[in-house]
Structure 1
Amino acid sequence: MSPAPGSGPDVWRLPNPTDVNDGTVTIITAPAGGATSVFGSDMARVLDDHTNVRVLPVLGKGPVRNVSDILFLKSIDMGAVAADVPEFYRLQYGIPDITSQLRYIARLYHNEIHVIARSSIRSIFDLNGKRIIAPTDVGFYSARVIFNRLGMTASFDYATDDAKSIQKLIDGEADAYIVSTGKVFQLARNIRNENRALHLVTIPYDRRLQDLYLPTTLASEEYPNLLNPGETIETVAIGMLLVSYNWPENTERYRKVARFVEAFFANFDEFMKPPRHPKWRESSIVATIPGWKRFKAADDWLVARNMTPRPQVADVQQQQFETFVRQSGGQLSSDPAERSALFRQFLQWRQQHGGPPTPTR
């Protein structure tokens, strides 16, 4: 027997057209398969309550194009943007402060910078003047910023297809391939590298990168085809942000995004639970991002709950200390005195060198 019209769960009831439009927000992510598109799907599932908020993820091109889509597409409310994209806009387009038109809501996760090159290349500094393949939407922007900050030049191939780009590297048509993406990057992990001609290249945590990037590592467990067993290399990571246009407070678009912020922040803990993407553990609603201003409704929500913003320097120190501990043997001692001594050693090294330390044993 068929149910009577209008009966059954609320999800099957026809929505009120006004409510649907009032509560729906769009978030432009990135091509399917990456962490950003999964984050959009997760937000749609967790926050969709059928009455107050509905999230519609939209597949985009990547962080650089997402900025222009947020600024100019009438149907886009928010998008995923890497924290180094504004510097790319300044270098590439001569736009000094694109963030004046944008506001960030939260840090979603970290993109690790992957540099894959032939075994003769030991560090990113060996790529000065070389031929680099950097995918237009998921690699070139970070490569441009990093090379400029390090005083390096390169001949860039602005590829649009990751798989074809990697094949060019394999065929010897470039010296390195650079991409900014969350690990584990499956295309890289799937490279057939039986002769070990290719490997992942170190990016040291140079002082010139430290105000924007975070220190991190790539390990053989993540890329057994590109690193030797037990090998770990240093690289840097950049925050992927959830970003909105800087809507005036008295506008309907501001109110829609503010309604989303209320639901997102109130349900933030739900994103830490399985089976959500594991990179949600890197997300933060309190992180302060250098060079960016927070969306006012997000700032108001945190202030009302006495939630103290966390500066990026705290994230840097924590990640450096975790690297230090791993290099010391992989575990923190349960003895408070030993823990304190290890942390003092870490701070002394950091004060002297400004980068991830190598502990004494």
Structure 2
Amino acid sequence: MMGCLRRPKWPSNLFCVLAAVVLSVAVSISPSDAQQRVRPGLAPLPNKPSLGTLGERINSNTIAIVSGNINAAWLTIAYDLSAVLDRGNDFRVLPVIGRGGTQNVRDVRYLKGIDLGITVTPVLTRFRRTGELGNIDDKIVYITKLFNQEMHVLVRADSGITSLEQLRGKTVNFSDAGSATQQSAREVFKRLNIEVKEVNTGQGDAHEAMKRGEMAGTILSNAMPSPAIARLRPADGFRLIPVPYSTEFHEDYYPTTISHETYPNLIPKGQSIDTIAYGSMIVAYNWPKNTDRHRRVSQFVDAFFSQFSEFQKPPRHPKWREVNLAANIPGWHRFDAAEEWLARNRAQQQAAVGSQQDFDRFLAARPATPGKITDMTSVDRERLFQEFVKWSQAKNRR
């Protein structure tokens, strides 16, 4: 049987001839011939445009911003930027899912293709203090302050835990490694001198671990309402506990509250809990002038600032209504094109946040705060401005 299947012996020179014929046919077919060769009755495929035309246009007019994951409002903010500012091939913002505020600064500083990122003030303060990224004062600049990020501390409803002190010695999730939540949670527990066992995982995984009794709590610093918190139901068995404001937080944090209206499934009607917040911002790498990357960031600034009113309308994230483009971040430099734009449009910005007369009326309507310090810090000024914004919005709705 095997003898019947023996392969015939072909002359070696015949193999050489056949190989030469196949090679000559392959070489004679150019890429364009291959693209144009189609079945009868079908239109030929068009050639791809060269990199020097459409491809070059797309690459030169796209800027990437690293944001957050699905647990954070930052991803929604980045999407809003891409949706509002989109001009097709003439200008596009490309949102990138990031690991959070700490890693975002590293990415803006070092990652190729990333010019913009979202982070928070305590993260920049830490990098400046540690020198981990070298001297960042002339490398990282801000475009604008965004809004405050509220700290959410979630525990099981049947745990009996009602304060941060009761988490001492227990396992607590500080959210993803490299996130702004991780950094702020470490700072808060350190300042309060409360030692816990830190773990790092996403909020969904943390919720399941808490149900199994593997964690005592999870922390998320995010703009309210946070999707990861808002989707929880009463049947899930969780509740929020307060983070009282104290002198330990005066440098970087603001006092605020979380109300029933924000999370009706977690906070009883008519009640609220105290917590702390800190400011988020859009930062950029400080590219030298007369470079292509500087041009892209400047293009973003002009498009963003010029159309800012569109971000304060539905369906954009409600936190946009708290943003004041002209707000300064003490101790940090603003990107030069952003500073120049604000200088050219100062009157427009003042009209957007209200007149001096409006602010005076706000102060007159505001109840006196017991024990208020005379010399206001940047934290006090920011807190007062946020109250003014809310007052102005309520007045305009009447």
TM-score bucket of the superposed structures, by smaller chain = 0.7 to 0.9
| CA distance in 2 between partners of 1:264 and 1:43 (Å) | 8
Report the count of equivalent residues.
313
> 1:171 aligns to what?
212
Determine helix, strand or coil for the equivalent of 1:74. Answer: coil
Q: Does the 8 Å contact 1:111/1:239 carry over to 2?
A: yes
What are the ranges of 5 or more consecutive residues in structure 1 without an aligned counterpart? 1-13, 315-335, 357-361
Determine helix, strand or coil for the equivalent of 1:351. Answer: coil
Query: Is 1:69 paired with 2:91?
Result: no
> 2:366 aligns to what?
343
Letter in 1 for 2:296: K
| CA distance in 1 between partners of 2:165 and 2:208 (Å) | 23
Offset of 1:350 from its aligned partner?
2.6
> 2:58 aligns to what?
20
Query: Is 1:36 paired with 2:74?
Result: yes
Offset of 1:194 from its aligned partner?
4.4
The structure with the largest alpha-carbon Rg is: 2
Residues 27-106 of structure 1 correspond to what in structure 2 (within 5 A)? 27-32=65-70, 34-50=72-88, 52-89=90-127, 98-106=136-144
Letter in 1 for 2:373: Q
List per-residue Cα deviations over 1:250-293 (Å, max 9, x = no partner): 32211210111111111111111122121211222111123422
Shift in alpha-carbon separation, 1:309–1:125, aligned structure 2, 3 A: farther
| CA distance in 2 between partners of 1:122 and 1:307 (Å) | 48
Determine helix, strand or coil for the equivalent of 1:42. Answer: helix
1:286 to 301, 304, 326: 326
Letter in 2 for 1:202: P
> 2:181 aligns to what?
139
Offset of 1:102 from its aligned partner?
0.7
Determine helix, strand or coil for the equivalent of 2:279. Answer: strand
> 1:10 aligns to what?
none
> 2:22 aligns to what?
none
1:185 to 220, 226, 236: 226
**Cα root mean square deviation, aligned:** 3.2
| CA distance in 2 between partners of 1:100 and 1:122 (Å) | 44
> 1:209 aligns to what?
249
Shift in alpha-carbon separation, 1:246–1:305, aligned structure 2, 3 A: same
List per-residue Cα deviations over 1:92-127 (Å, max 9, x = no partner): 885686454211101233221101125533333443
Letter in 2 for 1:266: S
Residues 309-324 of structure 1 correspond to what in structure 2 (within 5 A)? none
Offset of 1:143 from its aligned partner?
0.1
Letter in 2 for 1:39: I
| CA distance in 2 between partners of 1:113 and 1:18 (Å) | 43
| % identical aligned pairs | 34
Offset of 1:349 from its aligned partner?
3.6
> 2:203 aligns to what?
162
Relative to the length of structure 2, the TM-score reads 0.69
Determine helix, strand or coil for the equivalent of 1:350. Answer: coil
List per-residue Cα deviations over 1:19-41 (Å, max 9, x = no partner): 33332211111224642122222
| CA distance in 2 between partners of 1:350 and 1:237 (Å) | 19
> 2:338 aligns to what?
298
> 1:122 aligns to what?
162
Q: Does the 8 Å contact 2:123/2:180 carry over to 1?
A: no
Relative to the length of structure 1, the TM-score reads 0.76
| CA distance in 2 between partners of 1:281 and 1:102 (Å) | 26
Q: Does the 8 Å contact 2:149/2:280 carry over to 1?
A: yes
| CA distance in 2 between partners of 1:32 and 1:280 (Å) | 18
| CA distance in 1 between partners of 2:133 and 2:189 (Å) | 19
Q: Does the 8 Å contact 1:88/1:142 carry over to 2?
A: no
> 2:258 aligns to what?
218
| CA distance in 2 between partners of 1:221 and 1:158 (Å) | 29
| CA distance in 1 between partners of 2:173 and 2:126 (Å) | 17
Letter in 1 for 2:73: A
Determine helix, strand or coil for the equivalent of 1:264. Answer: helix
Letter in 1 for 2:140: L
| CA distance in 1 between partners of 2:236 and 2:112 (Å) | 51
Offset of 1:90 from its aligned partner?
6.2
Determine helix, strand or coil for the equivalent of 2:262. Answer: coil
| CA distance in 2 between partners of 1:179 and 1:283 (Å) | 21
Q: Does the 8 Å contact 1:201/1:233 carry over to 2?
A: yes
